Each structure stands twice: as C-alpha cells, then as structure tokens.
Chains A and B, each alone.
Chain A
Amino acid sequence: MKRTIPLIITFIIGIIVLSSEFIPHKPFSSVNESLENWFLVISGFAILLGQLSLLRVNTFKVTEKAENWQYYLAGLISFAIMLLCGIFWGTQDAAGLLGNGDKIISSLGTKPFEYLFVNVYQHLSATMFALLAFFIASAAYRAFIVRSFESTLLMIAAVVVMLGRTSVGTTMTAWLPQHLKFLHLPNIADFIMNYPNNAAQRAILISAALGIVGSSLRILLGIERSYLGGKD
C-alpha cells in the first residue's frame, strides 16, 4: 500500500499534465495550473530541506571527527554567521529582529549580510571557479597527448578553437586580406563550432530527449520506482 498509492498518484498527475499539453482547455488547463502552483510551493520547501540536510550532514561529520572534519566545521560556522546576520539585521531593505543595524551600517557602509556577501563570499566563490584554469593548464600538459589519428584531430580542433576564441587568434590572422577572411582563426573556430560541434550536439540532444521520454514513461507506468526510495 505504501508504494501503490504514490504510484497511482504519479500516474494520474502525469496523465493530467501530459493531457493538458494537448488539450489546453478546462478542466485540464485549470488542474494543470493548480499543480504548477503546488510545485512552486513544494520547491520552496525543498530549499529549506536542503539547508537542514546540509546542517545534518556537516554536524555528523564534525561530531564523528570524519576525515578533514575541520573543513566541515568551517562550513558550519560560515553558514551560521550568514544566517544570523540575515536574521538579526536583515538583508537589503528588509529589517531583521534587531532592526537594520544602523550603527553597523555606519561603520561597514552596508548591512553585515551584504558586506559578507560582497566582500567575502563573492570573492571566495569566484576564486574557486578560477582555480579551474590552473588545473586545466596542468592537465593539458599531462593528459593532452597525441596517441592516435583521432586524438591528433581533437587536439588540432581544440587549439584552433582556443585561439579563435581569444583576441590572440584575431591578432594573429588580422593581416590576412579580405578575400582570405575564411582563414581568420575566429572564422575557422566558428566553422568548427557551428558545423561539426553542432552536429554532435544535436545528436546528443535528440538522444537525451528520447532517453527522457523513455524514462518518463517508465516512471508514469510504475516500472521505474527508484524515486520512491527504499528497497523494492
């Protein structure tokens, strides 16, 4: 029973949503509207659930002294600081439990939450993403080795696109006369992106779409049940 009822609900809701795409009239359209609103409400709760899960997992790692538990503790402390700043002094124009914190604003120039967001979180987050460049450079030296015809082709395409996507590529071939414009590195890079790349991307998109149709049908018909959790 615990599994049959959710499966029936999934089937009915799925059929209603699917039908409303083909029959955009009442009652399908209005029921679909209500379902969309329910989804928006539930997705709001999902954020809260995510935060609680984050707290639970990190607290567990710290209390169990898991490997690198200090990092989880740092995460928890950061989480608590941002949360408390938001609760006590609010964000943007919204006041918190202790008002807007005018004294703090006069010294920091902004609310504590915004101050931490702009001056700490924003830079740390961008730095984490920027570190990718260093890993890519190191990986390029170690792993991008020509071993076969295919890997040679891949490397040539990668180098051309990399150069064509930068100002260096433009500068390198800027001297070419107008009738040889198709040989400009940015144009060759565009050709690679628009034709071979696009063809492959379309194939991937179509395959993925067919896969989604297949797995959606499996869920609707109750064949795929892993989303219910637990064991079969």
Chain B
Amino acid sequence: MSQKKLPKQIDRRYIYLVLLIGVAVPLLVPIGFISEVSGLAQQVYDMVESTPANSVVMISFDYDPSTITELQPMAKALIEHAWKKKHRVIAVALWPQGVQMAELAFADVLKRYPEKVYGIDYVNLGFKSGGMVTIQAMGRNFKEVFPTDSKGTPISQLKMMDSVRNFNQIGYVVSLSAGDPGLKGYIMTAHDMYRVRVSGGCTAISTPGFLPYINDQSQLTGLLGGLKGAAEYESLIDVKGTATSGMDAQSIAHLLIIVFIIMGNLRAQRIRKISKES
C-alpha cells in the first residue's frame, strides 16, 4: 500500500509576510469599516459629559511607549473631551515614562486647543513611584505627594492646584493602564476608599480582567478596551484619530488570524484522516 504524504506545515515566514501585507495595506489605503459603540465606552463618555464645567479631573498615565498604539489615542481623546467640556486636567504617572506620554498627548491636543494654558487648564505633575500607596497618599493630600510638577515648578505656583487638596475635589479619575501599578490600584483606593468616580483604558489583552469591576457598586465607570475602545471613544467625540484608522488594520489582522486557525485545523484534520487510513 502506498503511503500518503502528510500535508506540510506552512513556513512561518509566509505567515509573517501575509500578516505584514494585511496590516500595512489598510493603513495606507483605509477601508472605512463601520464600528459600533459599546456600552462600556458609552459609560466613560457619559461620565465625562455629566461632570460640570470647571471641574478638576485627573488622568493617570500608567503606561510606556510599548503600548502607545492602544493607549495614546485614548489619552488624546480623553484630554480633548475634557477640554471640550471645560474641565481642567491633572496628569500624573505611576510609570516613569508616563510623564513623556502625557507631554506628547497634551502637545498633540494643544494644536486644536491653543488657548489652553499650562497651570490653569492643565498640569503635568509627573511620576511618583509607590503604586497603590501613592494613590492612597494622594487621597490625603496631593501636595504632599507632588510638591512640584514634572518641570520642578512648585505646586503652589500652579493656579489650578489652589482648589485641589485631595480626591474630594476631583470630578473623576481615568487611569490609562498597561499593567501594575495602574487601574486596579485606582479602583481599590480612589474609588473604594475615597469614593471618587474611576474609569480607565487598558490594552485589549487585559480588558477581560477589569470587567468584574463594572458592577452595581460602579467600582469602574466604563472601560476603554484596546484599540477598539479608543476608536469607539473617538467616534463618540467625533474625532478621526489614529485609533479609527488603525481599526481597519486590526480588523484585517484578526480576520487573517481566523483564516490561519481554520487552515491549521484543516491540516490537522487531514493528518488525522491519513493516520487512520494507514
């Protein structure tokens, strides 16, 4: 009996090449897939919308450049929405490189809001190590934790900070989080201990871990999960940012992964059939 040949495995370089083309083409020539807004993104949007003008709000930049593709569009959209609603934004960072991420996000949004003044409409208080203990200390007194901003200016010289002592004066906190320390610390401390509204954005891969916190106690008010969450938020505030354009590429990448799964299973099926026959 002649032995049937087992189907060969595709060389992984071909898989990489197909994926590269699949991601690159939609970035160069946008397809324009439609995107539905999820309830989670809507909750974040509603939280910002319901916060009165002139409120001081806080965005925590708890990520570094490795996750910039997913989290930076969220940062820009959230700053833009806050400024649209005339909120004053405090930026802090629990990750050392979060300071630069905040600087870049502000610089980008400032192009559309040149009238916003540092120290009056926004401040960047910089990085502080310590994770959850830092958040706890912020709940007591911001000025103790951040005596100066990221540039070394004493906090007493920042007009916007005059009215801020602790979380009681903060409208809401949004943590853009790529891991620990980050969003979980804010939920457990800022919300659970100090009762401030906490929302967040995270990478797609860590989204499922945060969903239990969206509950009847509103430990988490909505969540922006990955690039899709960022694209949904951009569509809510009517801005076509990098997340919206990146969604086409991500959609094609997901489709290709599904195709690869099907191909892998067809091959496995064929191998099983040949093994049975022989």
Contacts and interface: CB of A to CB of B under 8 A. Distances in A.
Contacts of A133: 19, 23, 253
B34 interface: yes
Contacts of B19: 133-134, 137
A165 B152 contact: no
Interface string B252-272: 111111101101110010000
B38 A190 contact: yes
Contact of B133 (A39, A146, A165): A39
Interface stretch (B46-54, B64-72, B162-170): B64-72
B218 interface: no
A186 interface: yes
Contact of A121 (B65, B137, B252, B264): B65
Interface stretch (B73-81, B82-90, B194-202, B206-214): B206-214
Contacts of B39: 190
A142 interface: yes
A95 to B, nearest CB: 10
A152 B226 CA distance: 26
Contacts of A43: 129-131, 133
Interface string B172-214: 0000000000000000000000000000000010011101100
Interface string A91-106: 0111000000000000
Given A40-B128, A92-B150, A136-B257, A167 B265 contact: no
A36 interface: yes
Contact of A118 (B104, B212, B247, B260): B104
A133 B16 CA distance: 9
Contacts of A39: 130, 133
B136 interface: yes
A162 B268 contact: no
B116 interface: no
B208 A197 contact: yes
B254 A166 contact: yes
A129 B66 contact: yes
A174 interface: yes
Given A134-B16, A144-B261, A170 B33 contact: yes
Contact of B264 (A92, A141, A193): A141
B126 to A, nearest CB: 9
B55 interface: no
Interface residues of B, number: 65
Contact of A170 (B36, B103, B226, B265): B36
A61 B51 CA distance: 54
B152 A93 contact: yes
B33 A159 contact: no
> What 10 pairs between A and B have smallest CB-CB spacing?
A167-B33, A166-B251, A125-B65, A141-B260, A122-B65, A43-B129, A129-B66, A141-B264, A93-B151, A168-B251
Interface of B: 9-10, 12, 15-16, 19-20, 23, 33-36, 38-39, 64-69, 96, 100, 103-104, 128-131, 133-134, 136-137, 140, 144-145, 150-152, 204, 207-209, 211-212, 225-226, 228, 231, 247-248, 250-258, 260-261, 263-265, 268
30 contacts: A37-B137, A43-B130, A43-B133, A47-B96, A94-B151, A117-B100, A118-B100, A126-B65, A129-B67, A133-B253, A134-B15, A136-B257, A137-B19, A137-B256, A137-B257, A137-B260, A155-B261, A165-B225, A165-B226, A166-B228, A167-B34, A167-B35, A167-B251, A168-B252, A171-B34, A184-B36, A193-B208, A198-B212, A201-B208, A201-B209
Interface of A: 33, 36-37, 39-40, 43-44, 46-47, 92-94, 114, 117-118, 121-123, 125-126, 128-130, 133-134, 136-138, 140-146, 155, 158-159, 162-163, 165-168, 170-171, 174, 184, 186, 190, 193-194, 197-198, 201-202, 205
